[in-house]
Structure 1
């Protein structure tokens, strides 16, 4: 399991909002949907994306952007254009006075805009739920990521463009999976840039020793790992692995394992009905008491409180 696969293979898109937005100037939309992540792919014309925090970017054909929530942003044909519509949670759309726009701007299956022949076309894919596993990766991204057309290449973009307006059985699942693959391609291209500020664990995946150790921990978190057993699997000394792991990842192997186990547990608690005891054993704890103690110590809430939707404080240093 590599870094991207391991961190994006947990909670995947489930009923993501996908649409083709077709606009003719003048236009400006205020996005306040609080979604954890939106993928914006320009296929024709131009559009400005102006986040509340950070510099605006201009999208041209072939460009892609990731807007990382829950922050808000404005997208428009001109950077100074005042918004005339507001996109809220779940993709709801209203004028600034609260008048609904869903019907008046409906242009067909997963197509929306102010003119079916508009000069600007953007494919938009919005994840509606922040999962704990993907959150670890997405937290390493800026609030607004922009890749110009020439800096990335994804053969799935034409597929997404073709599939987005189809209305066939199971189409939402097909689109969810395509969106996941496009997201992985974008993130991979972003981290591969010469000036990329990739997180330590991502860069460490390329190390022959630490990368193997990380994959072993990610692939089998329930195993009763020790630094000694992990070092033996990697063909190095215990002290050598501990030193190199800490240098490249920024924390000891067992601290990383704790964070990974609790991240997986948090996702299982939210997205399944498994008991706390079953979740504990699945991720490597002896039972519900051991998991609860670790969960409370690192995340500040109990597993039951997390499952019930209690807002989590910032994780402590045990989480990578």
Structure 2
């Protein structure tokens, strides 16, 4: 897997949830802070997103917005001041019981159709790539921009309209794909993100790809430098500057993060997980895991909530 896929897989839990709403007139709805990531796709019309912290954002048809840290916000037909935002209708009351229709409040403005949803995330092991995402990732629908994201939105709209056989599988899969494309699109546009720079740097990106492709390999600085096609000092300097930690320190962190993901998502034995992440024995993995997470692998797995 590549770095972006691994970063998402490390934190994502279960399937995304979503609701479809069509509303007109004057309306205002609040979505409280959430232990995950929220997203909205404007299928038709326009509206305003008013974050609890930050500047209101106008969303137009085809726009996508990701709130990767689950920050509270308001959706409304117009920008609001703080007092008006506090009086917004809670989302759970606003959306219909079937999760597909919001109430209409007059006909003073054009109708808006929205796809609103949430991704469940495990915040205990957030990859720094995910951590550096801004509070609001707004991806406007501009001609020629982000064709993969535009295609995913088109496919989503088709599945929602037609309710074809298999949509129960297609929709969650498309929503997972949407998350990847939103993050990829942000990275393509970002000029400030450290990880956008790291994955755009030929040497650092080659080293990261190698580590993520085979974390169990007996990596050394010399072997990784050869993989990246540079000297050891060059790799150490560029990798540390871009990633924020030396190559072997990042490898250790990623091995343990990957081990936690396997404990969560599989029933593999500790010995099997140790082999997959590059530790010579279950004891060695348990010792390193306890030092990183403050608990043993067995207790970590036992404490996971049912249906995580």
- Determine helix, strand or coil for the equivalent of 1:125: strand
> Structure 1 residues 135, 30: CA separation in 2 closer, same or farther (over 3 Å shift)?
farther
Mean CA deviation greater in 269-278 or 22-31: 269-278
The structural deviation recorded for 1:136 is: 4.2
Matched, 1:23 2:18: no
In the alignment, which residue of structure 2 is the partner of 1:246?
Answer: 240
In the alignment, which residue of structure 2 is the partner of 1:140?
Answer: 132
Matched, 1:53 2:47: no
Is the CA contact (8 Å cut-off) linking 1:18 and 1:164 kept in structure 2? no
Counterpart pick for 1:86 among 73, 85, 90: 90
Measure the CA separation in 2 of the matches of 1:14 and 1:203. 30
- Determine helix, strand or coil for the equivalent of 1:113: coil
User: Which consecutive residues of structure 2, in runs of 5 or more, have no partner in the other structure?
Assistant: none
Counterpart pick for 1:111 among 73, 96, 100: 100
More helix by share: 2
Matched, 1:120 2:116: no
Is the CA contact (8 Å cut-off) linking 2:12 and 2:121 kept in structure 1? no
> Structure 1 residues 173, 2: CA separation in 2 closer, same or farther (over 3 Å shift)?
same
- Determine helix, strand or coil for the equivalent of 1:94: helix
Measure the CA separation in 2 of the matches of 1:148 and 1:125. 18
Q: Give the number of aligned pairs.
A: 294
Measure the CA separation in 2 of the matches of 1:13 and 1:172. 18
> Structure 1 residues 174, 289: CA separation in 2 closer, same or farther (over 3 Å shift)?
same
Matched, 1:271 2:265: yes
> Segments of 4+ in structure 1 off by > 6 A?
131-134
The structural deviation recorded for 1:161 is: 0.7
Measure the CA separation in 2 of the matches of 1:32 and 1:56. 16
Is the CA contact (8 Å cut-off) linking 1:44 and 1:122 kept in structure 2? yes
The structural deviation recorded for 1:265 is: 1.2
Superposition CA RMSD, Å: 2.9
Counterpart pick for 2:194 among 199, 202, 219: 199
User: Which consecutive residues of structure 1, in runs of 5 or more, have no partner in the other structure?
Assistant: 88-92, 96-100, 312-320
Measure the CA separation in 2 of the matches of 1:59 and 1:309. 41
